[in-house]
Amino acid sequence: MANIKLRVLQLANEQRSAYGLRYNDYERYRKHCANRTHRLRSSLKMTHGKGREFKKLPEVPTENLKAGHLELLLFEAERAWSYSQELLALVPKNPDAVRGLKQTAKGRFRRAVNWATQLLSRCQTLYASGALSAESFLEVHIYVLILNGRWLRQRYELDDALIQLSVAKSLLDELAATAPTSRDQALAVLFADEINPEIRYCAHELGRAKAYDIEGIVSEFAPKHKNELVEDCDKLVERLKEETSSAGVHGTSRKLEPLFWEGTPVPVRNPELVDVLLKVQDAQARLEGEPATPEGTDGKGKRKESKASSSKKGVAAYDAILHALSDAEEVARKLVEAQQLSGTSSGTVGTSRDTHFVQAYIVYQLLSRRIQRDLLLTSSLLVSHTTSQKNPLTTLKASEQVDGRLYPAVVKLYDTVLQSLGQMRTLSIVDDNPDLSSAVEARISFTKGQRCFYLTKCYIPVKKYAEALVLSQNANIHLREARSTLSIIGTDSINTGSPAFYPLTNDECSKLEADLATDALRFKKEWFAYNGGSAKTSNAGFKKPLFFDIALNYVELEMEKLQKRAGKAPRPPVPIAAPVPVSVKATEPIGKKSQAAKVVQEARPATPEPTQQPVRGGLGNLLGGWWGRS
Q: Can you give the pLDDT at residue 630? A: 47
The answer to whether the CB of 167 falls within 8 A of the CB of 231 is no
Q: What is the mean pLDDT of residues 558-582?
A: 70
pLDDT exceeds 60 at position 2: no
Q: Is the predicted pLDDT of residue 227 greater than 80, yes or no?
A: yes
Q: Domain 8-48+60-254: give its CATH architecture.
A: Orthogonal Bundle (1.10)
pLDDT interval class at 618 (50, 70, 90): low
- Among residues of the chain, what percentage have pLDDT more than 90? 52
Which of 259-273, 312-326, 562-576 is least confident?
Answer: 562-576
Judged against a pLDDT cut of 70, whether residue 141 lies above it is answered with yes
More confident residue, 278 or 623: 278
State the angle between helix axes of 67-89 and 26-44 in degrees (0 to 180), rounded to the nearest 10: 160
Among 181-195, 251-265, 518-532, 616-630, the range scoring the smallest mean pLDDT is: 616-630
Contacts of 160 (CB under 8 A, 6+ apart): 152
Q: Are 116 and 143 in contact, with CB atoms under 8 Å apart?
A: yes
> 3-class DSSP state for residue 260?
strand
Q: What is the distance in angstroms between the CA of the first residue and the CA of the last residue of the chain?
A: 121
Closest CA to 371 of 512, 493, 513, 494: 494
Averaged over 282-294, what is the pLDDT? 70
According to the model, what pLDDT value does residue 560 have? 80
**Residue 348 is which amino acid?**
T
Instruction: Please give the model's pTM, rounded to 2 decimal places.
Output: 0.76
The mean pLDDT of 177-183, rounded to a whole number, is 91
DSSP H or E stretch at residue 265: strand 264-265
- Residue 263's pLDDT band (cuts 50, 70, 90): confident
Kindly report the CA angle at 129 between 126 and 132, in degrees rounded to 5? Answer: 45
Radius of gyration from C-alpha coordinates of the chain: 44
Most confident of 42-51, 553-562, 595-604: 42-51
Which helix (H) or strand (E) is 472 found in, with range?
A: helix 465-487
pLDDT of 288 reads 82
> Is the CB of residue 522 less than 8 Å from the CB of residue 396?
yes
Q: Domain-by-domain residue ranges, the chain?
A: 8-48+60-254, 256-292+307-381, 417-556
494-500: which pairs have CB atoms within 8 A and are 24 or more residues apart? 494/436, 494/439, 494/440, 494/443, 495/439, 499/368, 499/369, 499/372
Please indicate whether residue 2 or residue 163 has the higher confidence score (pLDDT): 163
| pLDDT at residue 291 greater than cutoff 90 | no
Average pLDDT over residues 370-377: 93
Average pLDDT over residues 291-311: 46
What does pLDDT average to over the chain?
82
Lowest mean pLDDT among 38-42, 146-150, 316-320, 596-600: 596-600
- Binned at pLDDT 50, 70 and 90, residue 29 comes out as very high
